[in-house]
Amino acid sequence: MITKTAGATMTAGAEQLRQDGHRIEKWAVGWMLLSLTLWAWFGYRLLLDDDRGLFASAEGDRTLMGILALAVIPTIITAATLVYARVLFRLAKAAG
């Protein structure tokens, strides 16, 4: 049997989960902006190196691959934080 105190505790817990979900979602937006910036930088550098030919090697290839690696990491973090925020929202809905 659920008493008023237990119901209030469950509601407070659900509210805390919802607030945490919003906070994590804001972090995800920040990671997304960083990710988009790095992907734009990668695209710019790729288009800048496009005039050298299809199979010609350039000294900027290592730089380009480094930028690609830097762009992939925040993209993965963005996806993980968005999934975590959605899980928190579902937990809040189930607890409330």
| pLDDT tens per residue across span 3-42 | 555 555 557 788 898 999 999 999 999 999 999 999 999 8
Q: What is the pLDDT of residues 46-74, one digit of tens each?
A: 887 766 665 556 666 788 888 899 999 99
Taking the model in full, what pTM does it have? 0.72
Burial class of residue 85 (count of CB atoms within 10 Å of its CB; 0-12, 13-18, 19+): buried
Best CA proximity match to 11, nearest among 19, 26, 81: 19
